[in-house]
Amino acid sequence: MAKRTFFITGTDTDVGKTVVATGLIETANQAALSTAAIKPVAAGCELTESGMQNTDALLLQAAASYSLSYQQVNPITLKLAVAPHIAAAQEGKTLSASRLSGFCRGLTLLPIDILFIEGAGGWRVPLNNRETLADIPKQLNSEVILIVGLTLGCINHALLTAQAIRDDGLRLAGWVGNILYPDMPCLDENIDTLKRLIPESCLGVVPWLGDMSPKQVASYVSLPN
């Protein structure tokens, strides 16, 4: 049974959740901890010889030490690369937090040390008219790791998201800064401000280096205490 479960969320879409998640998985692997990963719903999937698949989910599948089928890693696939509830509506599907958290809960029963769950977009992305992705970690009572896309506006986005996580009664286990642009103005000052205003631990800052392997990312991040 998984000893710890981390839900990976971001301050926005395209802030590097998967890049950082694979680095955290690799960090755990290097510490001789067994890992599994799941992206319960993915929008922006493509038809392959093996069926509908998502690039981010494939990266999570490859990074984890415990071998899972693609269906276990990404049980709900949606074609359109938009908010999940909109993509689901386009395909005549209905999303629910209980079903998605059920997929995750099944993997917590595996003989592993850590289960990583990657969300889609940010903390309050809708699943339907009543629920958001935040309801998944709430139902699982999982710890949360926040990926902060370091760009103009990141301080506001990070503080609001961190507060929303706390208000939902969950433990923010830490945050990781991911530099999105090589020439961001006042980068160091932004990072220092985030470290000062977010009481939870900074688990690392990932530099802008283009495509990086999980091993490269792992050298910049650490696991929460």
Show the tokens assigned to 10. Answer: 């971001």
Tell me how far apart the alpha carbons of residues 154 and 152 are, in angstroms, rounded to a whole number. Answer: 6
Instruction: Estimate the crossing angle of helix 187-197 against helix 154-167, to 10 degrees.
Output: 20
Closest to 61 in 3D by CA, of 41, 35, 42, 80: 35
State the amino acid at position 206 in one-letter form.
Answer: V
User: Which of these is catalytic: 39, 79, 93, 215?
Assistant: 39
Phi, psi of 123 (to 5 degrees): -65, -35
Tell me how far apart the alpha carbons of residues 21 and 195 are, in angstroms, rounded to a whole number. Answer: 20
Tell me 200's DSSP state. Answer: S
Catalytic residue list contains 39:
yes
Tell me how far apart the alpha carbons of residues 183 and 214 are, in angstroms, rounded to a whole number. Answer: 23
Check if the beta carbon of residue 164 is closer than 8 Å to that of residue 124: yes
3-state secondary structure (DSSP) of residue 122: strand
Phi, psi of 127 (to 5 degrees): -105, -35
Q: Would you name the residues annotated as active-site residues?
A: 39
